[in-house]
Amino acid sequence: MEFIEGLKGLTFQQKRILTEQAQDLVLWGGLRIEDLWPSDYNPANKVEATCIFNNVMQKIDAMRRSPADYSDSAFSSLQAPPSRRTVIEPDFKAPDTIMGRCPCPDESLFLRCCNLKTLDAVQQCAFACSYCSIKNFYSDTAIKVVSDLEGKLENLEVPEGVWHIGTGQSSDSLLLGNDYGTITALSRFAKKHPDIVVELKTKSSRTDWITPDIPANIVATWSLNAEPVVRNEEHFTAPLEARIKAASVCAGAGRAVGFHIHPMVRYKGWESGYRDLVRLLCDSIDPSSVIMVGIGTLTFTKSNLKALRSSGVHTKVTQMPLESIAGKYSYPFEMKKEMFGTLYSYFPQDWKDNVFFYLCMEDPALWEPCLGRSYASNAEFEADMKKHYLDKIRSLS
């Protein structure tokens, strides 16, 4: 940036930090770092330059600490990203290994992890959630459907102890429904492994894949968010009400369903936004059909942030303190405690009694104050999750 390059008295490192801040300001609503800088800037020495730098950083930090405002007219007048023409590659020759694991660091002491395994049945997504890192994994925008998924799954050697596999880490699991036979192939796999739960995580409203022959251990879960977050950050996904309606159709067919309220965003009015979401959900779905509610928030790696900043997509998801925790950037502990605890408090008692709530990839110390329970280890968490999931699936079968 020419303006930053021309600033006298600052170090290379200070200019690098300012460049990142300037990129964020543009994303949040076309703000310019020049406007935070004194117009008569002419420091006599490095100490004076650093003092002015610190002052500008404090102003930006104050913006990060106040909730993002989606009603801000400068932001709402900005363009959403253009919709992508969906090119489908239906016969993608994937490498033999289509199984992986969730992005938690191995044996993390800092995060409570459920040890989810992943299956890359479809790669890349046509939705465009601003915070999503999946688009950065792939070099082009085509949606690739793994060829001969059925054969690959037939030959898959499932490691000892694996009981929970998700397909939502490489695409939206129901973006293509069963148009290319993905659900048929996964159903065959699930029938062969009745003690493995196959999770289809989605922000779509598709229900046309639901047929009576799909085994009960295939479980669809809907990713939900407060309506302003859906509207401003989850581009081209199904509206909130349509997602909940689809989940209710699925539950009505006698199937277990689940929900991820993730990533929670601390925007202006977040308390009422998430209270309305919980009310809509609880008015629409009976907790006896609900296997889980996973709760989490925005977490970025350095490379996610870099990609987001250079994408030019207008978003407020980086308008947050970006505290560094276990090599990732997120909200500070106390903010998370307030967000997760408040969200959980909105659920009625029959949901708390019947549904497995958990915090996804979060500090173990958040569990007790937010959910009123905790686990001593990841293994204990995983075992309890497994028991709840399988009990609920069997109770509905």
Give the residue, chosen from 112, 203, 255, 392, that forms a contact with ligand SF4 under the rule CB under 6 A: 203
Alpha-carbon span 243 to 149, nearest angstrom: 27
* Alpha-carbon dihedral angle through residues 265, 344, 323, 100, given to the nearest 10 degrees: -90
Closest Cα partner for 319 from 42, 125, 69? 69
Contact 305, 131 (CB under 8 A): no
Query: Toward ligand SF4, which CB reaches closer, 171 or 378?
Result: 171
Residues 52-111 within binding reach of ligand SF4 (CB under 6 A): none
Nearer to ligand SF4, 167 or 289 (CB): 167
What's the min distance (Å) between Cβ of 388 and ligand SF4?
24
CA distances from 363 to 111, 159, 198, 312 (A): 5, 27, 26, 31
User: Which of 1, 17, 57, 134: binder of ligand SF4 (CB under 6 A)?
Assistant: 134
Q: What is the DSSP string of 36-104?
A: GS-TT---SSHHHHHHHHHHHHHHHHHHHHSPB-TT-HHHHTSPPPPPPP--EEEEE---S--EEE-SS
State which of positions 231-290 bind ligand SF4 (CB under 6 A). Answer: 237
| The binder of ligand SF4 chosen from 25, 49, 119, 125 (CB under 6 A) | 125
DSSP 203-240: SS---TT--TTS-TTEEEEEEE--HHHHHHHEETSPPH
* Number of residues located near ligand SF4, criterion CB under 6 A: 10
Token pair, residue 58, equals 């404090």
5 burial class (0-12, 13-18, 19+ CB within 10 angstroms)?
exposed
Q: Which stretch binds ligand SF4 (CB under 6 A): 86-94, 129-137, 143-151, 157-165?
A: 129-137
Minimum distance from residue 305 beta carbon to ligand SF4 (Å): 16
**Does 178 engage in binding with ligand SF4 (CB under 6 A)?**
no
4 near ligand SF4, judged by CB under 6 A = no
Contact between 129 and ligand SF4 per CB under 6 A: yes
CA distance 231 to 374: 34
The residues with which 89 forms a beta bridge, in sequence order, are 144
What CA–CA distances, in Å, run from 238 to 86, 154, 207, 247, 333?
16, 33, 12, 12, 31
Q: In the set 68, 132, 176, 220, which binds ligand SF4 (CB under 6 A)?
A: 132
Task: Report, in Å, the least distance between residue 129 CB and ligand SF4.
Answer: 3
Smallest separation (angstroms) from ligand SF4 to the CB of 234 = 6
The whole-angstrom separation of Cα 26 and Cα 243 is 31
Distances (CA, A) of 287 to 293, 373, 387: 10, 19, 17
Closest separation between CB of residue 260 and ligand SF4, Å?
10
Give the range of 122-130, 181-189, 248-256, 378-386 binding ligand SF4 by CB under 6 A. 122-130
Counting beta carbons within 10 angstroms of the beta carbon of residue 67, is it exposed (0 to 12), middle (13 to 18) or buried (19 or more)? middle
DSSP designation for 112 = B
Does 153 help bind ligand SF4 (rule: CB under 6 A)? no
Binding test (CB under 6 A) with ligand SF4, winner from 172, 233, 362, 382: 172
If one asks whether residue 112 binds ligand SF4 (CB under 6 A), the answer comes out as no
Least Å from the CB of residue 299 to ligand SF4: 13
Which one, 25 or 176, has the nearer CB to ligand SF4? Answer: 176
Whole-number minimum distance, CB 256 to ligand SF4, in Å? 21
Which CB atom, from 313 or from 393, has the smaller least distance to ligand SF4? Answer: 313
Measured from the CB atom, the residue of 206 and 392 that comes closer to ligand SF4 is: 206
Site for ligand SF4 contains 171 (CB under 6 A)? yes
Query: Which member of 127, 180, 267, 358 binds ligand SF4 (CB under 6 A)?
Result: 127
CB of 221 within 8 A of CB of 246?
no
Given candidates 98, 114, 128, 153, which one binds ligand SF4 under the rule CB under 6 A? 128
DSSP category for residue 107: T
- Residues at the contact surface with ligand SF4, assessed by CB under 6 A: 125, 127-129, 132, 134, 171-172, 203, 237
